[in-house]
Structure 1
Amino acid sequence: MTALAERPARTPPRAERARTRPGAAVLLGLGLAVLLAFGVLVSAANGAFAIAPGEILSSIGHRLWLGGEPVAGTGESVLWNIRFPRIVLGVLVGACLACAGALMQGMFGNPLAEPGVIGVSSGAAVGAVCAIAFGLTFAGNWTIPVCAFLAGLATVAIVYLLSRSGGRTEVVTLVLTGVAVNGLAGALIGVFIFYADNDEITAITFWQMGSLSQATWPKILAVAPLAALGLAAAPFFARRLDLLALGERPARHLGVDVERMRLQLIVIVALLTGAAVAVSGVIGFIGLVVPHLVRMVAGPGHRTLLPLSAAGGAAVIVWADLAARTVAAPAEVPLGILTALVGSPFFFWLLRRTRRRQGGWA
């Protein structure tokens, strides 16, 4: 995090200034599409109740009035009421987190940025933990997601207002304010846990680790409009983010209203991350790892980086959730633990690589 705050002028190295590689982008897009489709099929087939891939395709055809037969016995209910909701929610959550990460990295001009930098995840966690610890039920089963989403948006608003001065928002001030708010959020979560009973502590701990085990079609219908809005709005900023990579002053000379764009991007990132965290808990490193891997293959152009990151995030979450369900069956490993186990070593490697290419942070 300190690296983000101390980075000097935003002058990307020659590799980052390279133009997008269209051929690589097309191949990567096809590869991600195949990886995602195969992951959906494998995830739907595997679990405590095994379902043959052919039966899954037949059931899908039956639901779409294209022929085929439903899965025999309880398999149809398991497929459509348990596994497909979980898979679809994973696709939405992964796409939201990865796209938000790509936007954050473009806005800060730093590959080490991710949605948690401005406190969205920690703020949403405070809202959810507060609802659990105090037993709030004003919205029924929706109380925890509603509290998480509203708290995430409120946290972003606080961070933005505190970092704004003289009609402008400096990136360094925004990052440092986010660090302070993240620390305060962690302290508040600790206070709530201190006063919670054993059952509430179990629920809080599992929620903080991230999971898709509570996926239902109503939750998907609730988060899908927010995810669709954020994912649809993101590509409209692609050209301006490419210009911003040249530096704030050149971007302004080329007609980019940097301050206005930064505010709009913060709102979109808050929308995407808040919606994802509200239904899945805290799942880290997706917004950091996926956009950077896509950038390494397809280049830094945001016209391809944003949609490919969304597709990559969806594929990663689907496969990671499959591993979470099966690696320690019949127990389930929290999804956030698996992403952290893979993401943390990658973050260390990325930190050292970026520092070496920049010649140090000082």
Structure 2
Amino acid sequence: MQVGEVSVRKNQRIASSYVFIGLGILIICVGILSLRLGSVSISFSEICKLIFLGEDSLSSLEVPHSLLVWDLRLPRFLLSLLIGAELACAGVCIQGLFRNPLVEPGFIGVGPGAALSAAVWIVCSEKIFSFLPPELRGKESYFLQAFAFGGALLVSFFLHLVSRREGGGFSLVLVLTGIAVNATVISLLGFLSYLADDTQLRNLTFWSLGSIAGATWHKVTLLSVVLTFVALSFPWLSRGLDVLALGEAEAFYSGFKIKRIRNITIILSSLLVGSSISISGNIAFAGLIVPHILRMLLGPSHKTLLPASILGGGLLVSCADLAARTIVFPSELPIGIIAAGLGGPFFLSLILKAKRKEGEFR
């Protein structure tokens, strides 16, 4: 290895460490603001007492704030971090699978597929499985995550079959397929809304716009388990996605089992999308904005992109949730509106940038 190559790699490692440290500091700052701001403002010193010294260190006037922090604001902040991390990781995986940085789980139908399956369970479980206990049917059911995962998995495999037929890349046919999937999902969601009663319709409407208002420690634990399970596969997954970037033929002749890489990537990304959407509803563009920005900062290597997406996605969604809670205070905006408001112009700018580059090479 030449001296110049060693210097470049050392500089890349230093730049990567700065990015990770910067993201960590920003997350801590957003976390402090999330614990402080709301219907009741809590001082920074009181937050430090609660976290580091416990409830016994508080005065009698400050004790009610303990419930507000531990049972409401802290679970909500942690849940926003986990949802953002899962959506960003899924975005990195899907972009690596289709070998295009403009792919996003919601744009090609994976997210809407999970949302449709979850909506089917919300509406139909009350009617078909009315004999089940309340915790096994409806919006708070344990089966909701399984249905959302199944919907995301089904759409992912379908899109992958289309991609393979078109050469494995991100073609016009794949874009049109994603548009068709989204149109079909919108139609079916409208039909489900027609069938739903008032309570189910209210749940569907609020859930489809995205919200983290119902955060609990149980949901935090569930997403933590899912994200940890996927993160354990990062060393293997990063090598597989890096070699897929070279093309399937080159990966095959390098000794990699392409079919296994594809299938596991689809299953893991569907698990991430399904579990997050089943809890928070549809939050668009988180899987596009974060991977694209991190790829510009860190380069194309998935060895750094995947762990960085955990921090970057968590930062984006936690910021969006903080904005949703404070912009129209005392009311609350659905977080999906904030995410779409950021992601739409960002995606348009990427399209215009790609168009300008295409014009330069003609």
2:211 aligned with 1:211: yes
Aligned residue identity for 2:105: P
- For residue 147 of structure 1, report the CA deviation from its aligned partner: 4.5
Q: Once structures 1 and 2 are overlaid, which stretch shifts more, 214-223 or 145-154?
A: 145-154
* Map of 2:296 onto structure 1: 296
2:148 aligned with 1:152: yes
- For residue 272 of structure 1, report the CA deviation from its aligned partner: 0.8
* Map of 1:46 onto structure 2: 37
Q: Once structures 1 and 2 are overlaid, which stretch shifts more, 169-178 or 342-351?
A: 169-178
Distance 1:154 1:177, change over 3 A: farther
Q: What's the TM-score, normalizing by structure 2?
A: 0.85
In 2, the alpha carbon distance for the partners of 1:164 and 1:124 equals 16
Encode CA deviations 1:214-238: one digit per residue, 9 max, x unaligned.
0011222223211221233234211
- For residue 80 of structure 1, report the CA deviation from its aligned partner: 0.4
Aligned residue identity for 1:140: P
* Map of 2:5 onto structure 1: none
SS at match of 2:233: helix
In 2, the alpha carbon distance for the partners of 1:339 and 1:272 equals 18
Encode CA deviations 1:96-119: one digit per residue, 9 max, x unaligned.
001111111111111111223564
Encode CA deviations 1:270-305: one digit per residue, 9 max, x unaligned.
111111111111101110000100111111111111
Distance 1:339 1:117, change over 3 A: closer
Structure 2 stretches lacking a partner, 5+ long: 1-7
* Map of 2:104 onto structure 1: 114
* Map of 1:140 onto structure 2: 134
Distance 1:37 1:164, change over 3 A: closer
* Map of 2:349 onto structure 1: 349
* Map of 1:95 onto structure 2: 85
| Aligned residue among 58, 63, 66 for 2:49 | 58
* Map of 1:201 onto structure 2: 201
Aligned residue identity for 1:286: A
8 Å Cα contact 1:22-1:298 kept in structure 2: no
In 1, the alpha carbon distance for the partners of 2:295 and 2:304 equals 9
For 1:61-72, list aligned pairs within 5 A.
Answer: 61-63=52-54, 68-69=57-58, 72=62
Q: What's the TM-score, normalizing by structure 1?
A: 0.85
Distance 1:192 1:49, change over 3 A: same
* Map of 1:325 onto structure 2: 325
8 Å Cα contact 2:50-2:57 kept in structure 1: yes
Aligned residue identity for 2:349: W
* Map of 1:78 onto structure 2: 68
In 1, the alpha carbon distance for the partners of 2:192 and 2:77 equals 31
- For residue 307 of structure 1, report the CA deviation from its aligned partner: 0.8
8 Å Cα contact 1:289-1:346 kept in structure 2: yes
Q: Once structures 1 and 2 are overlaid, which stretch shifts more, 104-113 or 284-293?
A: 104-113
- For residue 161 of structure 1, report the CA deviation from its aligned partner: 5.5
* Map of 1:31 onto structure 2: 22
In 2, the alpha carbon distance for the partners of 1:113 and 1:164 equals 13
Aligned residue identity for 1:260: R
SS at match of 2:232: helix
Q: Once structures 1 and 2 are overlaid, which stretch shifts more, 345-354 or 286-295?
A: 345-354
Distance 1:53 1:139, change over 3 A: farther
For 1:255-274, list aligned pairs within 5 A.
Answer: 255-274=255-274
Aligned residue identity for 2:21: L
8 Å Cα contact 2:152-2:273 kept in structure 1: no
Q: Percent identity?
A: 36
How many residues are aligned here?
342
2:307 aligned with 1:307: yes
Encode CA deviations 1:311-353: one digit per residue, 9 max, x unaligned.
0110111111111001001100000100100110000011222
* Map of 2:191 onto structure 1: 191
Distance 1:225 1:30, change over 3 A: same
